[in-house]
């Protein structure tokens, strides 16, 4: 069976998605900082623990989003990119980049871009 030939617009689209993941990483990191600094989470020990957990979760998701952007640029770790895109679909700003990423990475032409990038 012949593999579909990748089109140049798919490569440009992946680069655009990478920028979207970088932007989402910044927004998620800012949200984590906002949660960590919010005075509401300083009212009791339980709320402090919840605030710290939410802030840490935001920071970890921001790091994963930034790494996903790099992987999309380099055409590496397609499975990791799909997992992070699916996790992004759980929150509002992330769904704007998560759904197009999942749709793009599911296409056979894009999958061939990722397999070719790993070859010498």
Look up the pTM and report it.
0.82
Which pLDDT score is estimated for 2?
54
Mean pLDDT computed over every residue of the chain: 86
CA 69, 114, 57, 89 torsion-angle sign:
positive
Q: How many CB atoms lie within 10 A of CB 55?
A: 20
Tens-digit pLDDT profile for residues 26-85:
999 898 888 888 888 888 888 888 888 988 998 999 999 999 999 999 999 999 999 999
pLDDT over 50 (residue 20): yes
Ranges of each domain in the chain: 9-112
pLDDT level of residue 89 (50, 70, 90 thresholds): very high
């Amino acid at each position: 069976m012949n593999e579909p030939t990748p089109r140049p617009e798919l490569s440009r689209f992946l680069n655009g998605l990478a920028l979207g993941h970088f932007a989402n990483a910044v927004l998620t990191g800012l949200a984590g900082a906002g949660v960590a600094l919010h005075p509401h989470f300083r009212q009791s020990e339980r709320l402090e623990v919840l605030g710290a957990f939410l802030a840490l979760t935001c920071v970890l998701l921001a790091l994963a989003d930034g790494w996903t952007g790099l992987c999309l640029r380099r055409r590496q770790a397609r499975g990791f990119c799909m997992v992070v895109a699916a996790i992004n679909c759980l929150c509002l700003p992330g769904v704007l980049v998560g759904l197009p990423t999942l749709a793009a990475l599911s296409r056979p032409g894009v999958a061939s871009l990722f397999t070719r990038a790993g070859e010498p």
